[in-house]
Chains A and B, each alone.
Chain A
Amino acid sequence: MTRMDNDMTRMDMDMNKDVKGMDDALKNALRRQEAPDGFAARVLARVAQQDSPQKPVHRDSWLTFLTQPIVRWAALAAFATAMILGVHVYNVRRERAEGEAAKQRLMLALRVAGSKLQLARAKVNEMNANQTRNRQVKE
């Protein structure tokens, strides 16, 4: 074996040693660490918290909210305001409908009166025309 071959073999061995050394160093640096104290207990507490029913609490909070006096008074006031507004709107609509009906009746009456007047004027004109004709015949 030449001197160069010897050198190459030594270099290969050094490289393999480096790779092995790096592997060991990484395994050492990345070895498992213990989880913090009480880790499992905290996980179990979160599991228990997650499993506990949430909806009844929500409903309870709603009921509690509704039993507060201020909320009840506010609801009563809102109901009364709605009633007053409803009656007012009903009255306005009724008055408007009555006004509309009266207007229709007045228009009908005016139309009837107009046609009567037309007839009367035609009669008067006819009588005037007859009188004039009779006077001319006498003369």
Chain B
Amino acid sequence: MAERIPAEQSAEISENDIADSDFAEIVRRHQSAVFSIALHFLADRSAAEELAQDVFLQLHANLSTLKSEDHMKFWLRKVTAHRCIDYKRRRKPPQVSLDDAPEPVAPSHSSDPLLERRLQQLVASLPEKPRLVVILRYQEDMRAEDIADVLAMPLATVKSHLQRSLAMLREKVTRAIGEVTI
């Protein structure tokens, strides 16, 4: 499939600029994004680091094919997303659907860390594709159109995944946490 670069193109840099730039600096610039996508998807720090390292090794091998900073960002998100799905399929973890996710005992009051943690658990329990859509939307603040490009899926599917995931998350969070202001 031909790669479509998101519309929000900004500073164009030449192939040579990328090739000549310090790879360590590139890693430092993007490590947080790549690691976080993997972490939110896998909910496992060591697995997320291993996967993120693999993504950067692949980036190093493909540096010369990337034409701009935005292209690199797009490429990193796409490769990370695909590697996350591959990793999960290879490992075949016990799949817990959102409906089967265990409910914690709902405390009468909740603090933000509790809500955050619960939301992370619920996101991690979403099916693979909807999980990636939610992560890219809320972690990377991407538009639905760009998510569709990165995941190579129709825009309508992305929107549908987002809507359904949000409805389920809201319902689960409300049931789990109780009456809290979110």
Q: Is the CB of B27 within 8 A of A36?
A: no
Q: Is the CB of A30 within 8 A of B139?
A: yes
Given the complex, which residues of A lie within 8 Å of B112, measured CB to CB?
28
Q: Is the CB of A36 within 8 A of B56?
A: no
- Residues 28-63 of chain B: 1 if any A CB is under 8 Å from the residue's CB, otherwise 0? 100111111001100001000100110011001000
Q: Is the CB of A26 within 8 A of B119?
A: yes
Of all chain A residues, which has the CB nearest B140? A32
Of all chain B residues, which has the CB nearest A45? B53
Verify if A27 is at the interface (C-beta below 8 Å from B).
Answer: yes
Docked Cα-Cα span, A21 to B173, in Å, equals 12
- B97-155 interface with A by 8 A CB criterion: 112, 115-117, 119-120, 123, 134-135, 138-139, 141
Q: Is the CB of B56 within 8 A of A43?
A: yes
Of all chain B residues, which has the CB nearest A29? B119
Q: Is the CB of B27 within 8 A of A30?
A: no
Q: Is the CB of A43 within 8 A of B57?
A: yes
Docked Cα-Cα span, A42 to B56, in Å, equals 11
Q: Is the CB of A30 within 8 A of B135?
A: yes
- A14-50 interface with B by 8 A CB criterion: 18-19, 21-36, 39-40, 42-44, 46-47, 50
Q: Is the CB of A21 within 8 A of B53?
A: no
Q: Decide yes or no: A30 and B123 within 8 Å by CB, A22-B166, A25-B115 being known contacts.
A: yes
Docked Cα-Cα span, A32 to B181, in Å, equals 23
- Closest chain-A Cβ to B161's Cβ sits at a distance in Å of 14
Q: Is the CB of B182 within 8 A of A18?
A: yes
Given the complex, which residues of A lie within 8 Å of B1, measured CB to CB?
none
Verify if B11 is at the interface (C-beta below 8 Å from A).
Answer: no
Binding site for A on B (CB under 8 A): 23-24, 27-28, 31-36, 39-40, 45, 49, 52-53, 56-57, 60, 112, 115-117, 119-120, 123, 134-135, 138-139, 141, 166, 169-170, 173, 181-182
Binding site for B on A (CB under 8 A): 18-19, 21-36, 39-40, 42-44, 46-47, 50
Q: Which 6 A-B pairs have the closest CB atoms?
A: A29-B119, A35-B31, A35-B35, A21-B182, A30-B139, A29-B116
